[in-house]
């Protein structure tokens, strides 16, 4: 049986796996359909920075030649964010400073995908060095939202979300430092998981903020997402932040159909009444609560007042860690090199030309906050807020299983229609607390309003991703996205 690009775009990971296992489709059939789908939508959406069609075809052929070789993702086309190292394939982190960098090794998460049989179709666009929440800060141009190409996808995992949303790959990996998986998932009608810090190895991830970054999956449904997280999870001795709990954490897919009966789900009414929150976003949370309650969950109110202080704490901590991590891009060891004078000339020219405005802004903020005389006033206070927020969450989850809250305050705005830097930063107000506390958080679709998808976020205690998937699966079985872009023959025009 052959498959068209439109039929491919409707497949789930599990369906594709069954078809390959039954020899009704080959890995090469899937790869060709994936490439055809990308041909249709690129470069209009600009979700992909580097395509690997020929490498993918070769790996698909190797898979076909080894029928005994198994794996949960055998022959299935996926994509990875361009800050995950891929051996022999360009990895730019969305920046000019690394535009010709070719890593000599694979990130652990990429290796896990390939060990499970997946075929990586390419590297996806992203906000430069993962700094941004709109998908507009890439050195390779903004990513359009497949639901309306004139609007942002959210960031920084913009390309991963857009590619899965239009059906160019059946799943993708992103990274989440303050909402960079969950916000694009919500804006593109997908399921996006930010796992517990340390559940997925960070080895081979281009670091933004080492104490906040985590790799996770973006998919079109909860079962596929759980399957992908189970594949990439696990303890990794090469990653010093890999958590011991990653070995003993419950797998996510086996119990996903157990439902939500008996789960204690809480929400903070104050979060749903703010002036900056769209009534539709607040209504999505209420709808999710009603569905969960109708399936046996217990709903209650709970105050989480420290979340409102998270934005200030997050941007100080993140900028400080970024200023230290990005010091390695100096034009000497690897990546772009500019300037021909002394070493200081090389440093300043390389970083001045190689980094974009948003990256420079955060590096300067971080360097300032870490400088003598300001460390106590900024970084140390932010660290204290982080500790108190973590303690608040720990107390909350003594009496609750899941906290429900919005993903973003507003719908995706139009590309280029920026209200200001602070307004963009405040777009992360509901997502970054989970990163500060190292907790798992999922974004899942709740409906469509005025032609655009809306999402809801759920947070749980450490390594409780399995119950988050049970909630997401229950919700998706009782909602339906109408007019999803992967059913279209081609990209829509911008409104």
Active site residues: 81, 156, 180
442 sits in which H/E element = strand 441-449
| CA dist 445 → 20, 185, 186 (Å) | 28, 8, 6
Region class of 277: left (phi > 0), else alpha (psi between -120 and 50), else beta: beta
Q: If we measure between CA atoms, which residue out of 227, 229, 291 comes closest to residue 260?
A: 291
282: three-class secondary structure by DSSP: helix
Give helix 158-166 / helix 27-41 axis angle, nearest 10°: 110
d(CA 236, CA 232): 11
411 cis-preceded (ω within 30 degrees of 0): no
Closest by CA position to 237, among listed 104, 114, 108: 108
The CA distance from 45 to 188, in Å, is 12
Element (H, E) at 147: none
What does each C-alpha distance from 420 to 45, 333, 411, 425, 427 come to in angstroms?
24, 35, 16, 9, 11
Find the angle CA(258)-CA(196)-CA(104) to the nearest 5 degrees: 120
CB distance 186 to 455 below 8 Å: yes
Rounded to whole angstroms, the Cα distance separating 115 from 485 reads 31
CA distance 217 to 454: 18
Q: In Å, what is the CA distance from 293 to each residue of 130, 261, 403?
A: 37, 8, 14
Q: Using CA atoms, how far apart are residues 43 and 58, in angstroms rounded to an integer?
A: 24
Strands 144-145 and 148-152: antiparallel
Which phi and psi (to 5°) does residue 408 adopt?
Answer: -135, 155
Strands 77-81 and 172-176, sheet pairing? parallel
Q: Which residue in 410, 391, 392 sits closest to 268, CA to CA?
A: 392
């Amino acid at each position: 049986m052959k498959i068209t690009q439109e039929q491919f775009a409707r497949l789930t990971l599990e369906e594709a796996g069954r078809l390959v296992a039954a020899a009704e489709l080959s890995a090469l059939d899937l790869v060709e359909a994936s490439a055809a789908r990308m041909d249709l939508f690129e470069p209009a959406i600009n979700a992909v920075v580097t395509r690997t069609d020929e490498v993918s075809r070769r790996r698909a052929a190797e898979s076909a030649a080894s029928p005994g070789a198994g794996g949960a993702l055998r022959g299935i086309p996926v994509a990875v964010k361009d800050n995950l190292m891929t051996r022999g394939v360009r990895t730019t982190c969305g920046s000019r400073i690394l535009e010709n960098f070719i890593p000599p090794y694979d990130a652990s998460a990429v290796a896990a995908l390939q060990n499970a049989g997946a075929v990586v179709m390419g590297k996806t666009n992203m906000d430069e060095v993962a700094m941004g929440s709109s998908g507009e800060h890439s050195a390779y141009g903004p990513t359009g939202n497949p639901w309306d190409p004139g609007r942002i996808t959210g960031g920084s995992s913009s390309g991963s979300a857009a590619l899965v949303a239009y059906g160019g790959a059946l799943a993708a990996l992103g990274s989440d430092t303050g909402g960079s998986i969950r916000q694009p998932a919500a804006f593109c009608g997908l399921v996006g998981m930010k796992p517990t810090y340390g559940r997925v190895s960070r080895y081979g991830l281009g670091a933004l903020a080492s104490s906040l970054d985590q790799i996770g999956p973006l998919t079109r449904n909860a079962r596929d997402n759980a399957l992908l997280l189970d594949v990439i999870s696990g303890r990794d001795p090469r990653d010093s932040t890999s958590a011991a709990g990653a070995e003993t954490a419950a797998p996510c897919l086996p119990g996903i159909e157990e439902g939500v009966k008996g789960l204690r789900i809480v929400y903070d009414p104050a979060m749903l009444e703010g002036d900056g929150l769209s009534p539709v976003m607040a209504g999505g949370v209420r709808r999710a609560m009603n569905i969960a309650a109708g399936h046996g969950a217990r709903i209650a109110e709970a105050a989480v007042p420290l979340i409102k202080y998270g934005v200030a704490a997050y941007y100080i901590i993140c900028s400080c860690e970024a200023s230290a991590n990005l010091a390695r891009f100096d034009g000497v060891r690897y990546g772009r090199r500019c300037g021909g004078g002394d070493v200081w000339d090389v440093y300043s020219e390389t970083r001045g030309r190689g980094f974009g405005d948003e990256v420079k802004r955060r590096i300067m903020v971080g360097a300032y906050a870490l400088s003598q005389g300001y460390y106590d006033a900024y970084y140390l206070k932010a660290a204290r807020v982080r500790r108190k927020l973590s303690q608040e969450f720990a107390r909350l989850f003594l009496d609750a299983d899941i906290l429900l809250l919005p993903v973003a305050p507003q719908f995706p705005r139009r590309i280029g229609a920026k209200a200001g830097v602070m307004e963009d930063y405040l777009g992360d107000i509901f997502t970054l607390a989970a990163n500060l506390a190292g907790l798992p958080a999922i974004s899942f679709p709740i409906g469509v309003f005025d032609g655009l998808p809306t999402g809801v976020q759920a947070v749980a205690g450490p390594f409780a991703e399995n119950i988050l998937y049970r909630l997401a699966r229950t919700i998706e079985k009782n909602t339906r996205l109408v007019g999803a872009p992967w059913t279209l023959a081609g990209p829509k025009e911008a409104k």
